Structure 1
Amino acid sequence: GYPEPEQLRAMTKIGNISDKGEMEKETEGSEFLETLFLNDDSRDLIVQTWGGTNTTARALKSIEEQYKDTAEWDTIRKKVSDKLVLYIILDQDDSYNEYIAKNWPDIRILNDQSNFWHFAYAWKMHAEEVNSKLHGDWMVKNILNGHGKLMDMYASMGDGKMIEGELAEEQRGSAEYLKNNPQYDKYDFISEGDSPSFFYLIDNGLRSMEDPSYGGWGGRFGVVNDKLFRNNVLDYDPYTKRYEAEYSLMRWFDDVQDDFAARADWAVADTYEGANHNPSLTIKEGVDLSVSPGEEVTLHAEGKDPDGDQLTYTWWRYFEADTYEDSKVTPNKVQPEMAGDLQLGLHRELAKDEQVDTIKLQGSDTEAVTFTVPDDAKSGDTLHIVAEVQDDGEHQLKHYQRVILTVK
């Protein structure tokens, strides 16, 4: 089911790359974006920005120059602003702050300022428990060997692949780089710091596209205002025993890498039956429920697997994403302090005697889970309960379903 190379080449355009932040020239890429921004498809258009927003800014500037002094300008600006969602991996040039934010303030922005580092060069700073599928032995077995021409091109530490034009000290495929950076082993994961912007779009049942504050494979974002989201909120890391912004991304690494390995298998499987595929999951009671304080709730999950694999279930509360604040848990929805080094991200140490989650889930490893809505839950509070189903096929793939319970 992958597109042919020719199809991908036909839709690939070169944007504003002559200099960092350059947005004066119209380019094939900016004109391509301009056409997309102005078309009559009213669906959200997600613009993933991996190096800087200048090509996007040039497209918007061209629209402004064409329409600003016309009677259509207000309508056009609203149409474009209502459609676009920019997922920005760091502000890698000034074009967002200097042009887009000032002239197009109603465009929705997901701004990953720090978490992407943790699927990039900062991964060696993690607790080892989240890194098991980033090491060379796993990479060789599941990605690098025997997975066709595409994966033969995939880069890893010290693999001998040189990148034309790259600085010698940044040639991570070289033996010299491994010698100078002994924390890495041959074939270790290098970096995919831009990938969270793609993970955000994968429909895995976590529903993060409904609201960036829900959290998912692309991380979890705090609300700066109704148009701007930043990953400045904290998830509890059970391995470091503290709240960390980066754990909202790190917590998914195993699942993401298993999914990647399955896709690598799909690239070389001769038949559909020759590879594993994700199960699906539905909740009998629905995924948006109204509940009362003190009410006992039971939820039933039904998983299906296209390969006929055996399925297991896990339920857990994503308490950091919901709005009910446990009376015995210090609220973590606060503006966190910087940890100093950007790559360390944002964190807060666990307060003395602080509990992490006070709602007990009965049957959390079965198809049905039962729990009691807290007596002190207030009207409008939400509880986020996540069901996971996992198969027992190659790479043990998952699907999720987030149930959001709102207190009456």
Structure 2
Amino acid sequence: MWFFEKESNAFSLVSDNKIINILIDKEDQRGIHIAAENLCEDFSQVFGMKPQLTTEISDENCIIVGSLNSKSRKPLGGCYPDRIWASEGDSPSFLYVYANGLNVPDSLAYGGWGGRFKMERTAGIRGMDFIEKSGKSEKIYDPYFMHASTSEGIAAINKWRQHILNDFAARMCWATTDKFSDANHHPVVVFENDSTFNFSSKTVEAGEVLQLDASSSYDPDGNNLHYNWYVYEEPGTYKGVVEIESDKQGMCVLHIPEDATGKNFHLILELNDDGVPSLTGYRRFVIHVK
């Protein structure tokens, strides 16, 4: 990230924009500087997280583990760092804004591939102890406020761990061929003739029975599809049980609880194909109960 204090036009550049800066273990002070100087009205930071995004190696399934195997997937893999293990804090920042039907970057508390964050800002979030040991102090920026991760911590990312891994593996495979048919691609969720990645917001009555039809969804490779409708519990305010009929079919029936008045819950459609590696499409429904 560029050092804002050295750029005279940086303040105007970010004044009307959102910065998503998700740092694992808060490796340096750049995020703190942005927060302390209030350079951006909406600044997000997650800390104290070390996602272990690795899986078992399988050449047959094109699952990638470590840089040695990744580098064999030319030409993209050839640019991969020449280290067997190189954990870093950058990936969640990109995963947070990745359009996949699940992520909603403008809503910090919704959760997704980049984690989930508290809506209220927290004061004095400190970085790794080596910052103090190196003679620097974050206290010079006090008071500063950031959006910290929610109580799930790294579990908010690991919830989608296998999907993230398979997505990366597929992209590495794409780099090995110029033939579309030689690689797997994401299934496409279609709901009410809409195949975008936008989430759907619905206002319903308590006790209402709602039918949701995504049976027009398809796979560009002609693979079989597996539907999974479920409630993503953490971001919703309703914490009771929501009954879902036909939760493994393209069309589900949702029973709105009688005691959910004034609350909301998040329904997720997860659409997996049976390609190699298996890839996932999503659609999020935010259900508001009157």
Corresponding residue for residue 195 of structure 1: 91
Partner of 2:15: 81
Structure 1-normalised TM-score?
0.57
State the match for 2:105 in structure 1: 209
Greater helix content: 1
TM-score, scaled to structure 2 = 0.78
Q: 1:148 aligns with which of 74, 85, 109?
A: 74
Secondary structure of the structure 2 residue equivalent to 1:314: strand
Deviations 1:276-314 (A, max 9, x none): 111111223982111011111221113122222221211
Contact 2:14 / 2:40 at 8 angstroms: preserved in 1? no
Instruction: State, as a whole percentage, how many aligned pairs show the same letter.
Output: 29
Match of 1:311 among 222, 225, 233: 225
Q: What are the within-5 Å matches in structure 2 for residues 8-407 of structure 1?
A: 55-58=2-5, 62-63=8-9, 77=12, 80-89=14-23, 90-97=25-32, 99-104=33-38, 106-115=40-49, 117-119=50-52, 134-137=55-58, 141-143=62-64, 144=69, 146-152=72-78, 154=80, 161=82, 173=84, 190-225=86-121, 228-234=146-152, 245-284=153-192, 287-301=200-214, 302-326=216-240, 358-379=241-262, 381-407=263-289
Contact kept? 1:385, 1:403, Cα under 8 Å? yes
Task: Classify 1:392/1:96 alpha carbon distance in 2 versus 1 (closer, same or farther; 3 Å).
Answer: closer
Give the distance between the partners of 1:394 and 1:406, measured in 2 at CA: 37
Deviations 1:18-42 (A, max 9, x none): xxxxxxxxxxxxxxxxxxxxxxxxx
Shift, 1:154, TM fit = 3.7
Summarize deviations over 1:42-77 as a string: whole Å, max 9, x none: xxxxxxx5xxxxx34335x5237xxxxxxxxxxx75
Check conservation: 1:285, 1:299, Cα contact below 8 A.
no
What amino acid does structure 2 have at the position aligned with 1:100?
Answer: I
Is 1:118–1:250's contact at 8 Å kept on the other side of the alignment? yes
Q: Could you tell me which amino acid in structure 2 is paired with residue 361 of structure 1?
A: I
Q: Which moved more, 1:367-376 or 1:382-391?
A: 367-376
CA contact (8 A) 1:81 1:104 kept: no
Q: Does 1 or 2 have the higher relative contact order (CA < 8 Å, sep 6+)?
A: 2
Q: Return the offset for 1:262.
A: 0.8
> Once the 2 structures are TM-superposed, how far is the Cα of residue 152 of structure 1 from its aligned partner?
4.4
- Give how far 1:91 is off: 3.1
* 1:228–1:294 CA distance, 2 compared to 1 (3 A): farther
User: How far does the alpha carbon of each residue in 1:362-400 deviate from its partner, in whole angstroms, 9 at most, with x for none?
Assistant: 111111122221211132x21100001111222111100
**Which 5+ residue runs of structure 2 have no aligned equivalent?**
123-144, 195-199
Partner of 1:343: none
- Residue by residue over 1:130-158, the C-alpha shift from the partner in whole angstroms, topping out at 9 and shown as x without a partner, is xxx52345799533275214324545xxx
Q: Which runs of 5+ in 1 are unaligned?
A: 1-48, 50-54, 65-75, 121-132, 156-160, 163-172, 174-188, 235-244, 327-357
Aligned residues: 256
Contact 2:186–2:219 (Cα < 8 Å) also in 1: yes
Could you tell me how far apart the structure 1 residues matched to 2:86 and 2:160 are? 18
Residue 126 of structure 2 is matched in structure 1 by: none
Distance 2:220 2:166 in 1: 17
Superimposed CA distance per residue, residues 217-272 of structure 1 (whole angstroms, 9 cap, x where no aligned partner):
111111124984221232xxxxxxxxxx2211111111011111111111011312
Q: Offset of 1:360 from its aligned partner? A: 2.3
Alpha-carbon distance in structure 1 between the residues aligned to 2:36 and 2:62: 49
Going from structure 1 to structure 2, the CA distance change for 1:275 and 1:94 (only over 3 Å counts) comes to: closer
Contact 1:387 1:402 in 2 (8 A): yes
Equivalence for 1:336: none
RMSD: 2.8
